[in-house]
A and B are shown apart, each in its own frame.
Chain A
Amino acid sequence: MSAVPITRAFDGLATRIDTLGVRSLGFTSALRGEGVSTIALGTALGLCDLRNDAVLLVDANWLEPSLTNDAGLSGEPGLAEHLAHHAKLEPLIRRPHTSRIAFLPIGDRTRARPTLRALGSFLATETSSFETVIVDLPPILAGERFVLPWAAVLDEICIVLREEATPLPLVRQAVDTLPVANAPYVILNRAKASSVDVPAKLVAALR
């Protein structure tokens, strides 16, 4: 591990989100493989430090729940069980001792699908104790039905795209799919140093 915390790569993003003052934020993309889960994880860690508080990280990627796999919680009950059976949320949330992240794994995806009513209640009531909620969502074009309910209830939606890789017309198509009043934000992932202002020193330090 480097002497420089790896989370510094997400400092700029976390700072801007903090400045926006949003409580709930979802990360999605137009296509697979854009780095959404990594961005969600890094941002959650960055916001933990920035707000000095626990951040609820929700794995809502019905197509590829990689955060749940990373946490070693595959097969464990999680969000799907809560949405399906109104299981109590608190026992489902894992609180690793290594960070202030509170993680909600996806659970058994076959049991439930996200609905607008359930998600509204989930964000407004069940998670009211958390100042910040970060949701990892599937790609819009591949999993539109899993994204749209979240887009209606989250404060902001961020679309992650990879520099010099993601076709802009597809991003446009994904943006047009979202029926949100406020235009979503875009996060440029894997940007060259010239595209990024703050973390250039970090990249140099990591090398």
Chain B
Amino acid sequence: MRPYLATARRYRWLLLTIIALIWGAGLAAAFVEYKTTFESEATIWVLRASPELTVTSPNDPSQPILQTAATQQADLLDQLLLTDAFVRDVVRQTSLRAALDAAPDESRFLERVAKGFQVQTHGTNLLTVAYVAQDPVLAAEMVNAVLAVRADRIAQASVTFSAAASTLYQQQFKVAQAQAIDAQSAVDKFDQSHTAPLSDLEQHQRDQLRLALDFAQVRLGDIKGRIDQATLAPAVLAVSGMEFQVVDQPRVENSPRGGTRPAATIAAVAIAAGAALAALLVLLGTILPAHAKGPADVARLAPVKLLAAVPRVPRLQGSAGRPTNIRASLAAIAFGGGGADGDSNE
């Protein structure tokens, strides 16, 4: 631990500068993020439609309901926001329309817009739709637009679905009507060909024909009821608005809102990055061998003391014109003779 502390002490000004720069930049970015973030939010109360008002048969066992009403609607909105077509329709209803038309990459633009939406459930019947933007007016516009486009899409889908259901029921009605007419004809023919009193066998045959006629008429009535339901139910739901009620309309916020979490994230990342970088520098500064860059660095070897510094001496020109060095010169002085060539004072 001591070497790391020594390294940290040695590079304290560099470390403090790095930490100050990174933390300062991170905190400044977090502050700007917080101050320029505006969130607009709509609170919606949702109810599941009465089985009587649904187009599909309430007796159909193939439709399990595993979600709460709020989760169902939130999932629906999330799925719609995944599609470019839906987001494009939303953007076209806002002041971002011009930006969309000018965007070089429409898909990326729509993806960035979609990321600004947040759909959250609060309990079984409450959900919120929020949009975060740097412009408070735009945030409110986006939430209003997404609700409007959703309503359009739902209405359109409902009409389409009810039309398809009506067509199917009409076909079934024609078949059932033909069966009823046939059953009625069979009963009439039997009555004309047989006069009273009827034998037991004849009476039994007539009862069978009457039963078939009754069944055909009941089925006819049932299908007719479904046709009426398929036509009226969407209209009733649309008029009542009970399935999707906007309790709190989105507002234009005048003070920053919704930027706390991203700002905190930016600040936390900056603080962690600064600390990590400082730790890395201390680690490298301790592990990597440090060289003495001058007398001051020798002080790190305390209690060893610096006795003297011997200067670097450049190569000398020898008598034969070849470069010679201080070692060879010293050897020549000390021992006589030419001495050996080599590197300078090594």
Contacts and interface: CB of A to CB of B under 8 A. Distances in A.
Interface of A: 1-2, 6-7, 9-10, 12-13, 16-17, 33-35, 37-39, 41-42, 44-45, 57, 67, 69-72, 94, 96-99, 101, 103, 158-159, 161, 163-172, 175, 183-196, 199-200, 202-203, 206-207
Contact of B330 (A13, A33, A38, A200): A38
A171 B295 CA distance: 14
A186 B307 contact: yes
Interface residues of B, number: 41
24 contacts: A9-B311, A16-B307, A41-B327, A42-B345, A44-B334, A45-B334, A70-B335, A70-B339, A96-B334, A98-B332, A99-B335, A165-B291, A166-B291, A168-B292, A175-B301, A183-B304, A185-B307, A186-B304, A189-B345, A190-B312, A190-B344, A190-B346, A203-B313, A206-B314
Contacts of B304: 159, 171, 175, 183-186
A184 B298 CA distance: 12
A98 B335 contact: yes
Nearest to A168: B290
Contacts, number: 186
B327 A164 contact: no
A188 B289 CA distance: 17
A6 B310 contact: no
B334 A41 contact: yes
A70 B339 CA distance: 6
Contacts of B316: 1-2, 6, 206
A41 B311 contact: no
Given A164-B291, A166-B292, A175-B301, A42 B330 contact: yes
Interface in B310-334: 310-314, 316, 319, 326-327, 329-334
A159 B190 CA distance: 132
Most buried by A among B308, B312, B339, B346: B308
Contacts of A72: 335, 337
Interface string B283-302: 00000011111110110110
B336 interface: yes
Nearest to A2: B316
A99 B337 CA distance: 12
B334 A103 contact: yes
B330 A41 contact: yes
Contact of B311 (A38, A158, A186, A199): A199
A15 to B, nearest CB: 8
A186 B314 contact: no
Contacts of A202: 311, 313
Nearest to B339: A70
Given A71-B334, A165-B291, 12 more contacts: A1-B316, A7-B333, A9-B326, A13-B308, A42-B330, A69-B340, A98-B334, A103-B335, A164-B291, A166-B291, A167-B291, A192-B311
Contacts of A172: 301
Please classify the interface of chain B as helix (H, G, I), strand (E, B), loop, or mixed, using the class held by over half of its residues.
mixed
A6 B329 contact: yes
A169 B289 contact: yes
Contacts of B339: 70
Interface in B261-305: 289-295, 297-298, 300-301, 303-305
Nearest to A194: B294
Contacts of B298: 161, 186, 188
B201 interface: no
B333 to A, nearest CB: 6
A169 B2 CA distance: 14
A97 B332 CA distance: 11
Given A6-B326, A42-B326, A70-B327, A163 B307 contact: no
B309 A191 contact: yes
A38 B346 contact: yes
A167 B339 CA distance: 30
Please list the 6 inter-chain residue pairs (A to B) with the smallest Cβ-Cβ separation, ordered nearest first. Answer: A167-B289, A185-B307, A70-B331, A191-B309, A13-B308, A188-B309
Contacts of B332: 98
